[in-house]
Structure formats: structure tokens, C-alpha cells
């Protein structure tokens, strides 16, 4: 009897050992992505932000042909501010590349003949020297081809790695490459591509004209703009991403840097799933996720109620003063059981780069009157609108309607039209305390705006010549007279 028990025990142990060996072999087969069989060839679909190519799904591994062109081009950083971007595929961030694990990617990088500089590409998804940078250095008017196998699933950054590396990245040379696992990612209703970057200009934040890159500011990490998808307002207004109530949304979020870490947050939403640093680890029920420079994350969530949901870097001055702000507009029926209350559309908007301080009761003023040539009314209105959108828009809104019970209207404002000098003084010095505008009382704070005399004249002229006001043309001399009282 003891002999039979011993035989049975040995048989069971043998089965367990055999099973473990088989499981070990299976595990090795799954992990050994280098030997995944490549079947067929296909052209990669490349998309500009905020759009992404179609999901990989269940397709087999293939030879994937990626053709990307480097283009140096002038673009708009914000209204009135131009910047010379260096781009992969003509956009910042560069074209989104979607692959699956085991693909053999044949990558051709072309440098447009009109470009001034050589470039290359370092893809963090590549296992090889320089992430491809050593094989892709290319002069204007030339192209280079190299290939690599996608070994690890995840969301990866790519960027230029030509010296000085920081300058090439800071000028917009970054993007994302997704390597989906075998069988693809779980399906969702909407997918979008968002990438944060910090920019450094010779002029101050909001200073008009074509602004060149400033290496000194970049080294000090003193960014003038921190933006999503290459520009202020790239994801607001008509450029906002959209979804319908009840849909699941996936955001592929990257951070090109070159310097700053992103604290990515969607105001009014909670991330159901976050692929931490774009890898396999999934964190659930996340409010804000940290994305390092040169890193990425995949966030999924379901939109349950309608409204405008604001995307921000929660290092919050970057959002409201430097541009790291976007919008997800969700349409559909309200669900009062989930969220009830008065919706205030448009309360979250960039506040501009102007330094704002609390009003002071006493201030020493130096009486200096400079002789400045006045601009034409048309030019003042154009420049004044830019100052308004950068500085006043958040509180007083696009049509000067203000925000009920918070900030008074500027449109058809009896308070404004009654005394131009008083209005100029409020812009220069700020104001606290109760006022009555169009029969309604407001008791809030108007911060003192650090604007030049010319900017004050421009923005006041724009306001007075808009929305049914009295069409006063505010001169720099008028501003100086109020300032020197």
C-alpha cells in the first residue's frame, strides 16, 4: 500500500514538473517577440494631432513602411505671435505612428530640400544604438532608410537627436509611436493624440511678431509657453476634441519637453485606467498622472454627462497663463442623478502671460510723458483685440458679456461709458469693492494689469469700439495723463 502511494505521489510530481516546463516554454514563446513571424508588407497610416490611425486589431505582424518628411515651417504660437517650428511630418507633435509588437518597421526619413539644417530621429521604441539616430542623420534634400523590430508593447516618444539636441526638441521635433500588444488594445469609442511641449522665445510671453528660439531661457528652464499640440488654443474652441455622453475616450498623451514634467489632468473627469509611463502597468481611478519629459501615458475614461471638460497641466499657471489648456466637448442628454447644477460654459480660459497683481491703495507714480506716434484706428483695434484675448477674455468673455454674479459685462456698459478716465485708471491700478453696472451690483476684484501704455490704449479702444459701446478712441496721451495723476 505504501508503495502504491509512493508511485502515485511520484506520478503527480512528474505531471506538475512537466506542466511547469510547458508553461515556462509557452511563456518564453510569448515573450520572445524578436521571433514573431512577419507576414506581408503594408504602408503605415500616419496622422497629424489630435487624430490617430485606426487600431491594429488582430492583424498579423507585418513589414511596415513608414515614410516621414522633416519640414521647417513658420506657424502661429498664439494670436500675433509666430514661431519657426521644426517638424516631423509638418505638425507639432509629429505624425502619430501606430504599430503592433513584432512588426518589422522600415523607416525612411526625408529632409525637405528647403530646410536649413540636418536632422535625425531617435525613437524610444527602438532597441538599437541611438534609437535609430545613428542610422538616420540626414542633410537637407536627402533621405535615409533603416529598419527595426518592435519588441516591446507600449506608447513611446520619438524626437530629433541632432546636436544641440535640446534645441531641436524645443523647436517641436517630437511625436509618439504606439506599439500595440498582440491582439490590440481593448476597443474604445474615441481616441485622440495630445502632446505637451515647452517653448522658449526671445520676446516675453505674448510679445508679437516672429519670435526666435532663446537658448538662455531654455537652459534656465524658463518657458514662455507650455502648450498642447504645439500652440496656444490648439485644442480649444473649434479645435476642441469631442465625444458623446456614454462613450469611452482614450487619450494618447506624450510630453516632448524638452524640460518640464507634465501633471496631466482633465477637470471634471477621473481616469478609469492609466497605462503608467505608457507601459503594461495599469493604475485605476486616477485624478492626475505625471508624465516626464520624454515620456508618455495612455488614459481611458467614460464620459457620463455633457459639458466642456478642460484638459490642463495641473502645474496650473502653465495652463491659464502659458497655454497648457485644451477642451473635450461632450454632447448628449443630461443626467441629473449623476451631476446637477448650473453649467457655466467657458469659465476656464487662458489668462495670458500678462503679470497680474492685486490693486494697491497707495502708489508712487513717476510723471513721465513720452511722445509716441499714434497708430491708425484699424491697427489699434487689431492689436487691442489681441491684448483683450490674452488678458481680459477669461473674466469678461468673448463678447464682453462677463460672468453673471462674478464679473461685470463690458458690452453696453453704463459704468464703462460714463467715465473713460475712470476705466483707464482701473486697468492701470486695479479695483476692489462694489460697483453697479447696468443696474446690477458686483463686488469682486479687478487685478492690476502690467501692460504698456500702448497696450492699455489699444485694448481700451477695442473695448469702447465693440459690443455697443461709445466708440472712444483712447490715445496713449490719455493713458499717460491718467497714470500721472
Q: What is the pLDDT of residue 351?
A: 64
* Among 373, 386, 394, 196, CA closest to 292: 196
The CA distance from 404 to 342, in Å, is 12
Residue 1 annotated as lining a ligand binding site: no
pLDDT at 120 over 50: yes
Element (H, E) at 99: strand 96-100
Q: Which three cell numbers mark 70? A: 522633416
Q: Is 416 exposed, middle or buried (0-12, 13-18, 19+ CB in 10 A)?
A: buried
Residue 68 annotated as lining a ligand binding site: no
| Average pLDDT of the residues of the chain | 89
Residue 349 annotated as lining a ligand binding site: no
Residues linked to residue 109 through DSSP beta bridges, in sequence order: 68, 144
Q: Where in the chain is the domain with CATH 2.60.40.420?
A: 41-180, 190-331
Residue 77 annotated as lining a ligand binding site: no
The CA distance from 349 to 403, in Å, is 13
Q: What is the pLDDT of residue 137?
A: 96
N- to C-terminal Cα separation, the chain:
113
The CA distance from 193 to 457, in Å, is 40
| Averaged pLDDT for residues 427-447 | 87
pLDDT band at 451 (very low <50, low <70, confident <90, very high): confident
The whole model's pTM is what? Answer: 0.76
pLDDT at 198 over 90: yes
pLDDT tens digits, one per residue of 56-92:
999 999 999 999 999 999 999 998 999 999 999 999 9
- Strands 262-267 and 307-313 turn out to be antiparallel
459, 387 Cβ separation under 8 angstroms: yes
pLDDT tens digits, one per residue of 178-194:
999 999 999 999 999 99
Q: What is the pLDDT of residue 347?
A: 45
Q: Which three cell numbers mark 269? A: 473627469
- The matching CATH number, chosen from 3.30.390.50, 3.10.20.90, 1.10.760.10, 3.40.50.300, for 356-483 is 1.10.760.10
Across the beta sheet with 241-244, what order do the strands follow?
241-244, 325-331, 307-313, 262-267, 288-291
pLDDT tens digits, one per residue of 356-382:
666 655 544 454 455 567 889 999 999
Residue 124 annotated as lining a ligand binding site: yes
Q: Where in the chain is the domain with CATH 1.10.760.10?
A: 356-483
| Averaged pLDDT for residues 315-344 | 88
The CA distance from 143 to 145, in Å, is 7
Residue 195 annotated as lining a ligand binding site: no
The CA distance from 390 to 403, in Å, is 17
Q: What is the largest CA-CA distance in the chain?
A: 115
Q: What is the DSSP string of 252-277?
A: EEEEEESSPPEEEEEET--EEEEEGG
pLDDT tens digits, one per residue of 25-62:
444 444 588 889 999 999 999 999 999 999 999 999 99
228, 84 Cβ separation under 8 angstroms: no
286, 274 Cβ separation under 8 angstroms: yes
Q: Which three cell numbers mark 13? A: 510530481
Q: What is the pLDDT of residue 364?
A: 46
- The matching CATH number, chosen from 2.60.40.420, 3.40.50.620, 3.30.420.40, 2.40.50.140, for 41-180 is 2.60.40.420
Residue 119 annotated as lining a ligand binding site: yes
Query: What is the fold, at CATH topology level, of the domain defined by 190-331?
Result: Immunoglobulin-like (2.60.40)
**How does DSSP classify residue 96?**
E
Amino acid at each position: 500500500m505504501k508503495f502504491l502511494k509512493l508511485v502515485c505521489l511520484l506520478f503527480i510530481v512528474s505531471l506538475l514538473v512537466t506542466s511547469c516546463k510547458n508553461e515556462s516554454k509557452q511563456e518564453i514563446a510569448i515573450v520572445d517577440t524578436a521571433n514573431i513571424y512577419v507576414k506581408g508588407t503594408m504602408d503605415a497610416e500616419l496622422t497629424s494631432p489630435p487624430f490617430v490611425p485606426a487600431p491594429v486589431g488582430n492583424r498579423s505582424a507585418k513589414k511596415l513602411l513608414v515614410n516621414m518628411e522633416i519640414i521647417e515651417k513658420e506657424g502661429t504660437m498664439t494670436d500675433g505671435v509666430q514661431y519657426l517650428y521644426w517638424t516631423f511630418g509638418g505638425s507639432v507633435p509629429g505624425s502619430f505612428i501606430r504599430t503592433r509588437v513584432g512588426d518589422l518597421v522600415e523607416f525612411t526619413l526625408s529632409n525637405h530640400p528647403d530646410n536649413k539644417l540636418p536632422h535625425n530621429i531617435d525613437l524610444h521604441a527602438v532597441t538599437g544604438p541611438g534609437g535609430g539616430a545613428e542610422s538616420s542623420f540626414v542633410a537637407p534634400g536627402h533621405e535615409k532608410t533603416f529598419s527595426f523590430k518592435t519588441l516591446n508593447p507600449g506608447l513611446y516618444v520619438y524626437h530629433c537627436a541632432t546636436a544641440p539636441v535640446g534645441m531641436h526638441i524645443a523647436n517641436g521635433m517630437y511625436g509618439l509611436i504606439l506599439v500595440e500588444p498582440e491582439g490590440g488594445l481593448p476597443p474604445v469609442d474615441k481616441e485622440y493624440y495630445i502632446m505637451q511641449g515647452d517653448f522658449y522665445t526671445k520676446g516675453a510671453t505674448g510679445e508679437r511678431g516672429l519670435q526666435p528660439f532663446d537658448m538662455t531661457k531654455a537652459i534656465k528652464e524658463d518657458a514662455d509657453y507650455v502648450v498642447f499640440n504645439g500652440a496656444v488654443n490648439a485644442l480649444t474652441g473649434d479645435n476642441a476634441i469631442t465625444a458623446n455622453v456614454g462613450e469611452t475616450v482614450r487619450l494618447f498623451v506624450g510630453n516632448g519637453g524638452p524640460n518640464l514634467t507634465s501633471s496631466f489632468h482633465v477637470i471634471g473627469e477621473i481616469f478609469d485606467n492609466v497605462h503608467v509611463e505608457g507601459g503594461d502597468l495599469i493604475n485605476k481611478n486616477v485624478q492626475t498622472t505625471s508624465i516626464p519629459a520624454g515620456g508618455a501615458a495612455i488614459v481611458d475614461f467614460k464620459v457620463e454627462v455633457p459639458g466642456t471638460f478642460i484638459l490642463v497641466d495641473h502645474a496650473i499657471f502653465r495652463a491659464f497663463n502659458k497655454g497648457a489648456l485644451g477642451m473635450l466637448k461632450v454632447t448628449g442628454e443630461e443626467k441629473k442623478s449623476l451631476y446637477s447644477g448650473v453649467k457655466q460654459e467657458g469659465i476656464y480660459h487662458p489668462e495670458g502671460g500678462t503679470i497680474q497683481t492685486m490693486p494697491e491703495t497707495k502708489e508712487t507714480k513717476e510723471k513721465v510723458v513720452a511722445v509716441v506716434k499714434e497708430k491708425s484706428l484699424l491697427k489699434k483695434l487689431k492689436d487691442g483685440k489681441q491684448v483683450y484675448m490674452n488678458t481680459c477674455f477669461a473674466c469678461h468673455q468673448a463678447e464682453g458679456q462677463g460672468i453673471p454674479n462674478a464679473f461685470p459685462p463690458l458690452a453696453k456698459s453704463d459704468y464703462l461709458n460714463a467715465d473713460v478716465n475712470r476705466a483707464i485708471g482701473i486697468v492701470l491700478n486695479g479695483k476692489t469693492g462694489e460697483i453697479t453696472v447696468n443696474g446690477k451690483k458686483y463686488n469682486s476684484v479687478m487685478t492690476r494689469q502690467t501692460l504698456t501704455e500702448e497696450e492699455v490704449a489699444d485694448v481700451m479702444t477695442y473695448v469702447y469700439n465693440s459690443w455697443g459701446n461709445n466708440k472712444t478712441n483712447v490715445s496713449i496721451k490719455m493713458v499717460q495723463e491718467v497714470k500721472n495723476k
